[in-house]
Amino acid sequence: MRLSAYFLPTLRENPKEAQIVSHRLMLRAGMIQQASAGIYSWLPLGYKVLRKIEQIVREEQDAAGAQEVLMPTIQSADLWRESGRYDDYGKEMLRIEDRHGRDMLYGPTNEELITDIFRTHVRSYKALPLMLYHIQWKFRDEVRPRFGVMRGREFLMKDNYSFDTDYQGAVDAYNRMFVSYLKTYARMGLSAIPMKADTGPIGGDLSHEFIVLADTGESGVFYDKAWENQDFANMDVNYADMSEVNGIVEKYTSLYAATDEKHDTENCSVAAADLKERRGIEVGQIFYFGTKYSAPLNAVVSTPEGEEVPVHMGSYGIGVSRLVGAIIEASHDEKGIVWPEQVAPFQVAVANLKADDEGCTSVSEDLYAKLSKAGIEALIDDRDERPGAKLANLDLIGVPWQILVGPRGLKSGVVEVKNRKTGAVEEMTPEAALNKFAS
């Protein structure tokens, strides 16, 4: 992509309305724009990152055996009356009346609707186990939306729902998702730690929330330092093998981790020397809630014994749009965003530091063309701007690698290759720079 043509409205000043760093940096990097309170438009750079995160979530859901559907944003109130949640949900639910005076709502979650789909088509244990997920926009009418996409009103969520004949099957599904979440977050370059959680308005009696470590996080967390040396991103899991899956769950549920609300230093299972305290951000939560929805909605299956039983369910959420903010909270410095390579909007940025110099332009354009041809997502700053402004801008938007093409270096036949995270700069020929990325 050419920066001269790219719609990337970066800001030099810190926007006053942004109280936390991810919100500030997303506005400054031209990733989002507020449409109204707690509701954002995603501009090209932001949307590119959002889609990368979404795709990692999708791939790991598919790998764990879940099937993708898409439920609509607008739901009928009738189903929520059946489950009893229509009145319970309070003012966070955006209630709507259509032209015929029917009560509708913008879905804040989808337990009712997915249970309706299930009960329409499934009658027998033979169709189970089943996990259906979707990645869809939700709406929660927060009193005071703030912190940008971290607590917006319209937000993108992956929610998965599992259906099993009995408790044991449901726990298997829960454990598959537990393992899949470890891998999902790690693939985005995050350290996410599962912690026992209360179930809140979803209900149920088994729940974990996944918390990403970030110094700017909203809540305190305590954990065994062994959490820091796990390579979940490259974990090879056979989800069909429940003893393997359960083994992973057992291993990691016995490794200590707790939010500050639940932590008790006096009585915790980990030695003081191994206990770490940091801050974190919740980026997902998984629930087993049994027959809480299937019983009132009459979603029953016949067992092998011919009995009819309400199906056992769980739900598994990931805050997809929230993750964009969470990743920035976990990975930034005073200059701007530092994207983990896995979710970076571009892999490499080529900066032509002197756009009116023929040599710089020809080397930059050649590098950009060859990187693009090799299938690398490359950005070229081909604008007529001061070098300082270009460098600051690239640091702000956080592309992992920068190739800086300036007249001084070219005299010695080299360009500079800079790592955004470490700041380390290496001089090399343009060919060597190309080979570093397009090998």
- Single out the residue of 15, 59, 74, 308 in contact with its own copies (rule: CB under 8 A): 74
Considering the complex, what minimum distance in angstroms separates the CB of residue 409 from its own copies? 29
Task: Determine if 72 is a binding residue for its own copies (CB under 8 A).
Answer: yes
* CA distance linking residue 151 with residue 23, whole number of Å: 10
Tokens for 7?
């719609």
Task: Determine if 143 is a binding residue for its own copies (CB under 8 A).
Answer: yes
With contacts defined by CB under 8 A, name the span among 43-51, 182-190, 195-203, 352-360 that binds its own copies.
43-51
* CA distance linking residue 47 with residue 77, whole number of Å: 31
CB closer to its own copies, 192 vs 344 = 344
- Single out the residue of 3, 18, 50, 414 in contact with its own copies (rule: CB under 8 A): 50
Which residue stretches of 226-381 are H helix? 242-253, 320-330, 358-373
Task: Determine if 41 is a binding residue for its own copies (CB under 8 A).
Answer: yes
* CA distance linking residue 266 with residue 272, whole number of Å: 10
Tokens for 268?
């915790």
* CA distance linking residue 374 with residue 433, whole number of Å: 13
Which residue stretches of 188-238 are H helix? none
Task: Determine if 33 is a binding residue for its own copies (CB under 8 A).
Answer: yes
- Single out the residue of 16, 121, 306, 334 in contact with its own copies (rule: CB under 8 A): 121
Treating both helix axes as pointing N-terminal to C-terminal, what angle do 358-373 and 430-437 enclose, rounded to 10 degrees? 20
Task: Determine if 222 is a binding residue for its own copies (CB under 8 A).
Answer: no
Considering the complex, what minimum distance in angstroms separates the CB of residue 127 from its own copies? 8
How big is the chain by its Cα radius of gyration, in Å? 24
- Single out the residue of 17, 59, 88, 98 in contact with its own copies (rule: CB under 8 A): 98
* CA distance linking residue 161 with residue 286, whole number of Å: 10
Considering the complex, what minimum distance in angstroms separates the CB of residue 343 from its own copies? 16
Q: 113: closest CA among 157, 152, 82? A: 82
**Contacting positions for its own copies (CB under 8 A):** 5-7, 9, 30, 33, 35-36, 39-44, 47-48, 50, 65, 67-76, 78, 91-92, 94, 96, 98-99, 102, 104, 106, 113, 116-117, 120-122, 127, 130, 132, 137, 139, 141, 143, 153-154
